[in-house]
Every structure is written in C-alpha cells, then in structure tokens.
C-alpha cells in the first residue's frame, strides 16, 4: 500500500477523501463513531476493519474510540430488532409512498441486468429487498422469489404475478443453501448499524448454495456528481441520541421553514438538491433543529459523514396523499408548498470505498472462536465462529453505487 | 405462494430449533397452468425436501398427487417422461409451480407461531419479542 498523506485539509469532496478513507480502513484507525450512545449501551468491543485474524489479535487500535466491554458481549437479538430510525424513516416511509415509488422504478440497471443474464438457466434467484419487483422475472430462464419489509410494495409485486413474501433482510426465513443466486439492490444502505449491515450480508450468503453468487449494490457517499454531496441533509451526532433513543411521542413541528428541494433527478441516486445555505433545518420527526455548520468541526464532520436523510416528494395529486394527512398531523412529514408535495425523509447510511469489502472479508474468517483479550487496556473480539465462507469475485463502482459480487465457498 | 416457496421457508422465531418444515394450513387455493420445463424440474429436485412437499400436498387435500417416497431418478430422467400424462415429472411440476396457496397460514413446528398467508403472500416478519 502506497504512503498516504496524513490529513487532507478541509475542501471539496474528491479523490483525497477517498484516499483518507482507504488509509483509515487499512490501519484500522477508528473513525468518529456516530453511534457512541448505542455502543456504550451495548458495551460493544472494537469492530475489525478488514484486518486478517492474526493481525487483529496483535493489532492495537487507538484507545480514542474504545469502549470497555461490560461483561458479556451479547447482542445477537438486538442486531435483528429493527431500530427506531429504520421503523420511522425506512419502513413507514416506503409503506406510505409505495405506489408512487413503484411508478418511478422501472429502468433496469445494466450491471444488474448483466449479472442476472449471466446466471445458469434454471437458477433460483432470491431478490432480497425487491421493492416493486423491478428485477423479478428479468431473466426468463430463472425462477425469482422476492421479499421486502414493505407489505404495500410486496402487494404491487404480487399483483404483477411474482412469487413474493414479506420478510426482513436481516433475518431471512429461507432455509440454508437453497438459492442459486441472490441480489440486494439498494437495500443495505437503509440499515442503520454496522452489525445489521454485516448480518444482512451473512444472510445473503447463508441462503445461497455453495458456488452461489450474491450481488450487492449500495449508494456511495462519493457521488459521480460531487457537487450534489454538499446538498444532502446530514445527520449529526448530537441528534443521534434523540432519533435512536427516541421513545417519547412525536411533537408537532413548530417551525414554518421547509426543506427546499427539487424532484429527484436520478431515480437510482435519489439525490436531492437543497438550498445553498450554511444554516440548514431538517426534520427528524419530532421537532425542527438547526444544524450550525459555521463552527470548526464542520469539515471534520463532513469527511466522516455517512448518515443522511434523503427526502421523497409525494405530489399532492397522488392518491397516497390521503394517508399523508396523518403523517403531516404528527409531524412525520412536511408540506412543500412550492413544489406541491408532501416530503418524507428516508434514512441512508451511504457507503465509502472498501466498506462492502470490509464486511465481506470478515466473513472469510472460518470458525474462529470469539476471544476476549484482557491483557490490553481495552477489549476486542475476533469474528464469531460459524460464518460461512465467501469470496469476492467482482467489485466495482457504477452510477454512484458501490457494488460487490460474492461467491459462497 | 407456490409449494416451491413453501419448501424453502423456515421459521426464524427465537427458540425454534429447526423451524422446518412449516405446517401448511390452507383455506383458499387455486391452480394456474404454466408450461413444463422438464430440465428445470430435474434441476430443482436435489434442493427439494420431498417429505415437506408431500405434506404440503396432503394439506391441500391432494393425497394422490405425489407418492410418499421420491420417485427414482430413472423415472424422472427417462426419455419422453415429460410427455406422458400423469408422469412423475408432470406431477412434481404441478405441485411445485402450478398450485398457489391464496389464504392460509404457515405454522412453526417448534413454537407453533403462525405466519399468515394473505392474497398469496406469506408474511414472515417477526414481532419485537420474537427476534
């Protein structure tokens, strides 16, 4: 690995930031953890950053971001429980916008089409997070089974004659080794923790046979049109506790200031342009808050920022608008009078270069038992035993998405 | 829901040992003809749990459709088998791909948890206390 510069100064998105991220990935330098509150609650140990097992055993990540383990490291149930942010800003939103969303999902992505067409005739293909079923039946020589967490989207698929079910990507109800291939197209970026994203990849590998292929695509933080990045609505750490820990009932929004956005320019990136203003208000479903970007931490936060709300504009004339009135009432959605739409926010964790590979490399660690090393001032763990082997057979960046193809060994 | 799908579904409720096979309870079902692709059926068979498939056909009230034991390979791979009315491969094709369960439920054999099937769609989502 070539020497890399230490800290790139504040500036525009570009190759430099990607390099910094790659450096961080290799040396396992922890990045600021936006989920500190959640980690402390769980007492989680250090997560590996793609290091081989022995290196991980002897490596000593900086204590900066370490949290001492509190007794047993046991969150196998929590990884499959849906966090509040996903319930509010993924599940409910897609349920509310399903027909409109489906109407905009028709273009077939060439890379996905190519993957599906390369499969052996007679293959069983599992589309996990199939949405409106855009890819179901794409290759007529294969048999497709789709699943999604959104019942309204699944009903749209069923209405088109597809074989579908309602299921959770983090806890698939398929038995092991059944599929010949699996695809997860623009799904994992809606999962809000590293553990859940990794679990979803493990599930995809589990449900295909040995030699089966898995295609995963996710939104990239590094968009092809880099200027758009500045206009996403970032979620900042100080609001983390509120929308992760939120348990009180939603409060009606007091502010009249609205997000200014235009309609999605590209259905596959869904990037929204925001008003070019240093002070931005965003809607978190509880009350409006102001993110002040004028302080010195701004550029540092931006470099590490991977959590965003991306708005969806539902035009007033759509039939789904009827259900939107309840959402408006409790502050879950907002009106954009200028655009004539109701605005919902969708949660995204956008991926950096190497992030998909990081979780995939971890799955190659065969039957290594969990070890707790107490001779260091902090504790960390090697990967859990029993994870099936998978190897990366392809990886690429396409249309602002990071993509990976895995083969189950 | 086709019986092919039923054959691959398992209960993932916390506390289930295997969660497989799910017991099929049917209140409404139909058949939709689809062209037989013999090679496809032959390729599918190694994946299929025969007992679960037979149990599902019994639940539909089709006890005569499939034998208790999986037919021998010679019968499945025989030349022209697909053209014979009532041949094993045609029956398997019918069971796996032409039968559609529209209303009913899938019951976990370990926990008795019921997963509903409505409008042909199974809902396998678990509640908070089941994961």
In chain B, which residue's Cα lies nearest the Cα of A125? B5
> Which residues are CB-neighbours of A267 under 8 A, at least 6 positions away?
A104, A105, A107
- Rounded CA separation A310/A292 (Å): 19
Provide the shortest C-alpha distance from residue A237 to chain B (in Å). Answer: 26
Closest CA–CA distance from residue B94 to any residue of chain A (Å):
15
Burial of A317 (0-12, 13-18, 19+ CB in 10 A): exposed
Domain ranges for chain A, please list them. Answer: 80-225+385-408
Task: For residue B131, list chain A residues with Cβ-Cβ distance below 8 A.
Answer: 77, 80-81, 171
pLDDT of res. A311: 85
pLDDT at A144: 97
The whole-model pTM stands at 0.73
Q: Which of B40, B50, B34, B42 is nearest to B75 (CA)?
A: B42
Q: How far apart are CA A245 and CA A35, in angstroms?
A: 11
| pLDDT score recorded for residue A275 | 34
Site of tokens 């660690």: A365
Query: What's the pLDDT at A328?
Result: 85
Strands A179-185 and A124-128: parallel
Look at residue A269 in the predicted model and tell me its pLDDT. 37
CA–CA separation, B19 vs B109, rounded Å?
6
Question: B13 to chain A: which residues are within 8 Å by CB?
Answer: none
- The residues of B whose Cβ lies within 8 A of any Cβ of A are 1-2, 4-5, 8-12, 14, 20, 37, 39-40, 43-44, 47, 115, 119-126, 128, 131
What are residue B130's DSSP bridge partners? none
A171 and B126 within 8 Å at the Cβ level: the answer is yes
CB distance A77–B131 less than 8 Å?
yes
| Look-up of token digits 């009350």 | A287
Chain A nearest-CA residue for B121: A165
pLDDT at A296: 42
Alpha-carbon torsion (A368, A370, A374, A376), positive or negative: positive
**A 108-127: CB under 8 A from B:** 121-122, 124
> A80-225+385-408 adopts what CATH topology?
Rossmann fold (3.40.50)
**Along the 409 residues of chain A, how does pLDDT read in single tens digits?**
444 344 434 443 445 444 444 544 443 434 444 344 444 554 443 333 333 333 333 333 333 333 333 333 334 457 889 999 999 999 999 999 999 999 988 888 999 999 999 999 999 999 999 999 999 999 999 999 999 999 999 999 999 999 999 999 999 999 999 999 999 999 999 999 989 999 999 999 999 999 999 999 999 988 887 776 666 788 875 445 444 444 333 333 333 332 222 223 333 333 333 333 332 333 333 233 333 333 444 555 666 788 998 888 888 888 677 778 888 888 888 888 888 888 888 999 999 988 888 777 655 444 333 333 333 222 222 222 234 478 889 999 998 999 999 999 8
DSSP single-letter state for residue A389: P
Q: List domains and CATH numbers for chain B.
A: 3-123 (2.20.25.10)
Question: Least CA distance to B38: which residue of chain A?
Answer: A122
pLDDT value of position A230: 67
Name the pLDDT band for B32 (thresholds 50, 70, 90): very high
| Residues of A in Cβ contact (< 8 Å) with B121 | 151, 154-155, 158, 164-166
Return the pLDDT at A299.
Answer: 59
Chain B interface includes A200 (CB < 8 A): no
- Average pLDDT on B61-68 reads 92
* Residue of chain A whose alpha carbon sits nearest to that of B11: A173
Distance CA B71, CA B41 (A): 13
Of B4, B10, B121, the CB nearest to A175: B10
Q: Which helix (H) or strand (E) holds A103?
A: helix A92-104
Q: Exposure pattern of A208-245 as b/e (b: 16+ CB <10 Å)?
A: bbeebbbbbbbbbbbbeeeebbeebbbbbbebbeebbe
**What are the φ/ψ torsions at residue A168 (nearest 5 degrees)?**
-105, 125
> Across the strands, what pairs with B127?
none
Task: Tell me the count of A-B CB pairs closer than 8 A.
Answer: 72
Tell me if B121 sits within 8 A of A155, measured CB to CB: yes
SS3 B63: coil
Of B6, B19, B33, B47, which to mutate for an interface test with A (greatest number of A Cβ within 10 Å)?
Answer: B47
Q: How far is CA A269 from the centre of its chain?
A: 13
The helix (run of H) or strand (run of E) holding residue A281 is strand A279-283
Of the partner residues B12, B37, B120, the one whose CB lies closest to the CB of residue A158: B120
∠ CA A232-A237-A243, nearest 5°, is 85
By C-alpha distance, which of A332, A339, A283, A285 is closest to A315? Answer: A339
Question: If we measure between CA atoms, which residue out of B48, B29, B32, B49 comes closest to residue B103?
Answer: B29
CB contact under 8 A, B9 and A124: no
Give mean pLDDT, residues B50-78.
92
Contact B40 A122 (CB under 8 A): yes
Nearest Cα residue in chain B from A121: B40
The pLDDT of residue A173: 95
Q: Measured between alpha carbons, how far is residue B9 from residues A164, A167, B17, B23 in Å?
A: 12, 11, 14, 10
On whether any CB of chain B is under 8 Å from the CB of A291, the answer is: no
Cβ partners under 8 Å of residue B46, min gap 6 = none
Q: Are A133 and A157 in contact (CB under 8 A)?
A: yes
């Amino acid at each position: 690995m070539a020497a890399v510069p230490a800290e790139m100064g504040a500036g525009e998105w570009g190759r430099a930031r990607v390099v910094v991220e790659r450096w961080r990935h290799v040396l396992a330098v922890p990045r600021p953890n936006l989920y500190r509150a959640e980690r402390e609650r769980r007492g989680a140990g250090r997560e590996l950053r793609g290091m081989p097992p022995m290196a991980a055993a002897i490596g000593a990540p900086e204590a900066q971001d370490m949290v001492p383990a509190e007794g047993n490291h046991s969150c196998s149930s929590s990884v499959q429980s849906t966090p509040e942010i996903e319930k509010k800003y993924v599940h409910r939103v897609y349920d509310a916008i399903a027909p409109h969303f489906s109407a905009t999902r028709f273009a077939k992505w060439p890379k996905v089409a190519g993957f599906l067409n390369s499969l052996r005739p007679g293959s069983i293909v599992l589309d996990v997070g199939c949405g409106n079923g855009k890819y179901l039946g794409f290759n007529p020589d294969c048999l497709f089974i789709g699943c999604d967490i959104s019942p309204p989207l699944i009903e749209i698929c069923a209405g088109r004659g597809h074989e579908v079910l309602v299921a959770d990507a983090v806890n698939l109800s398929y038995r092991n080794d059944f599929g010949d291939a699996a695809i997860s197209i623009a799904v994992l970026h809606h999962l809000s923790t590293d553990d859940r994203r990794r679990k979803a990849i493990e599930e995809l590998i589990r449900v295909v046979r040995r030699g089966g292929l898995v295609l995963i695509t996710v939104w990239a933080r590094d968009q092809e049109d880099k200027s758009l990045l500045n206009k996403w609505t970032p979620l900042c750490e100080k609001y983390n506790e509120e929308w992760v820990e939120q348990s009180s009932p939603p409060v009606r929004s007091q502010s009249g200031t609205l997000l200014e956005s235009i309609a999605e320019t590209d259905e596959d990136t869904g990037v929204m342009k925001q008003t070019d203003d240093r002070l931005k208000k965003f809607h978190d479903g509880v009350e409006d808050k102001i993110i002040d970007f004028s302080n010195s931490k701004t550029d540092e936060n931006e470099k590490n920022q991977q959590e965003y709300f991306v708005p969806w504009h539902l035009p007033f004339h759509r039939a789904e608008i009827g259900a939107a009135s309840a959402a408006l009432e409790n502050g879950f959605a907002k009106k954009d009078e200028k655009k004539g739409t109701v605005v919902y926010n969708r949660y995204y964790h956008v991926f950096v270069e190497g992030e998909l590979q990081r979780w995939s490399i971890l799955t190659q660690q065969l039957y290594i038992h969990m070890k707790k090393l107490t001779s260091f001032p902090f504790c960390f763990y090697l990967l859990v035993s029993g994870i099936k082997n998978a190897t990366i057979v392809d990886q690429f960046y396409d249309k602002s998405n990071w993509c990976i193809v895995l083969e189950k060994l | 829901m086709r019986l092919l799908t039923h054959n691959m579904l398992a209960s993932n409720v916390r506390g289930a040992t295997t969660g497989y096979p799910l017991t099929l309870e049917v209140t409404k079902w139909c058949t939709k003809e689809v062209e037989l692709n013999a090679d496809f059926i032959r390729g599918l068979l190694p994946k299929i749990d025969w007992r679960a498939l037979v149990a599902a056909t019994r639940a539909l009230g089709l006890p005569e459709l499939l034998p208790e034991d999986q037919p021998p390979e010679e019968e499945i791979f025989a030349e022209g088998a697909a053209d014979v009315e009532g041949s094993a491969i045609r029956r398997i094709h019918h069971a796996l791909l032409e039968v559609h369960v529209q209303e009913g439920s899938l019951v976990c054999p370990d926990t008795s948890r019921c997963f509903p099937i409505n409008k042909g769609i199974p809902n396998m989502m678990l509640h908070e206390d089941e994961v």
